[in-house]
Amino acid sequence: MRAPSPMILVVLLWCAGLGAAAQFGKISILYEPLRATYGGNGEVALGLVVSIVGMVGLIFGTTAGLLVARIGPRRAIVAALAAGAAMSALQALMPAYPLMLASRVIEGASHLAIVVVGPTMIATLAPEKRRPLAMTLWSSFFGVTYTILALIGPHVSGAGLFLGHAGYMALLAVVLAATLPPDPRLPPSPIGNLAAQHAEIYASPRLAAPAMGFCCYTFLYVAILTLLPPETPETHRALIAAGMPLVSIAVSLTLGVWLLGRMSAVRLVQAGYAVAVPGFLILWAFWGQGAGMVAGGFLLSGALGIVQGASFASIPELNASAQDRARAAGAVAQLGNLGTTTGTPVLAALLASAGPAGLTVAAVVLCAVGIAIHALQRARRAGQ
């Protein structure tokens, strides 16, 4: 049997990313039906069903990068897809709350392995000229998944969505087991002191830079997608809610890929943050006015889409070996989850207490921090 081309494998890995994103998205889509089953446990308990997958990544993200580098990416992603399929099939039964929560913890480990392996293997498999496109394609998996789920979710029952996701993950596990190249044989070695390994990753200006810059993005982007639509006049609310993620994906896959062929990924991350600043200022100036908020929202979502794609492209740009890329991807997963977890409550509190001005000032400061982090890390790399 002829081996698939590298770009076919890249697309298959991206499809695995879609399945990983659906581990979040399926619960968001089914939140109200789940309330009928598990709401008696309280709102915090219900919220845990959604958020605990991200908490696993927040706690164990960098550890997952270390483990993937040790056990091999092919074995890790196939096992993660199989585990994800089994958990979705179990969830279709709407089990008792403790069992549902346990299944979500296991699903968190599955999700984490996929989002660490995906960019690591894509960076290795993609031809050098197509690597920027491949890494940017990978970065779109969350936005594409949420768009698909928003379209099909209302037409599928809860059990149907869980079972469909289980079948999708199981099929991908079989396909990737048959098509991915075998893992390289590494000499057995102890994983060592985890605290020391974490310290080594975050002290490195090459391993840590993609994650540190990406954290500012996740802090802002998920919060903005959540907070802006309710603040937009009803006549433009659907447009900004549906349009912002689509603009982000479209800009990153077109202009973002074109720019990655002409400048370094790190500089493009900085440029994306710089362009997002006027988007936030336009939002502030036209707050409560539909067309102005849409214009500002689209500008900043396009700019942050470029930040997203370029952040993933910076992983192979700054790290040559597969092991270092896995460690850098683990840090991206960890700090990305930190930003996603903290961004919405912090910006929501600022919006409630200080209004649009408070949100805007915080967003502009975060953009400046993203630019400064990469400038500092570049200076440290130059001094090595």
Determine the residue type at 151: L
How would residue 173 be classed by pLDDT, with cut points 50, 70 and 90?
A: very high
Residue ending a domain, choose from 191, 220, 236 = 191
pLDDT tens sequence across 196-232: 777 888 899 999 999 999 999 988 987 887 788 888 8
Residue 174 pLDDT > 60, yes or no? Answer: yes
Backbone angles phi, psi at 30, to 5 degrees: -100, 20
Among residues 146, 164, 191, which one ends one of the domains? 191
Give the pLDDT band (50/70/90) at residue 194.
Answer: low
- Given a cut of 60, whether residue 190 has pLDDT beyond it is no
- Asked whether residue 19 carries a pLDDT value surpassing 90, the answer given is yes
Does 74 share its domain with 31? yes
Residue 219 lies in a domain: yes
Is there a domain that residue 35 lies in?
A: yes
Residues 227, 174, single domain; the answer is no
Instruction: Examine the domain organization and report whether 207 and 252 are in the same domain.
Output: yes
Q: Please tell me the total count of domains within the chain.
A: 2
Same domain, 148 and 253: no
Residues 31 and 180 in one domain: yes
Q: Is residue 1 part of a domain?
A: no
Q: Using one digit for the tens of pLDDT, what is the confidence trace for 262-317?
A: 899 999 999 999 999 999 999 999 998 888 889 999 999 999 999 999 998 999 99
Do residues 155 and 227 both lie within one domain?
no
pTM: 0.82
Could you list the residue range(s) of the whole structural domain that residue 106 is in?
6-191
Q: How far apart are CA 236 and CA 369, in angstroms?
A: 31
Average pLDDT over residues 179-204: 73
Same-domain status, 77 and 156:
yes
Both 142 and 210 in a single domain? no
Q: Are residues 162 and 208 in the same domain?
A: no
**Does position 57 have pLDDT exceeding 80, yes or no?**
no
Domain closes at, from 191, 222, 245 = 191
Do 270 and 173 have their domain in common?
no
User: For position 131, which CATH number holds?
Assistant: 1.20.1250.20
126 belongs to a structural domain: yes
**In this predicted structure, what is the pLDDT of residue 169?**
96
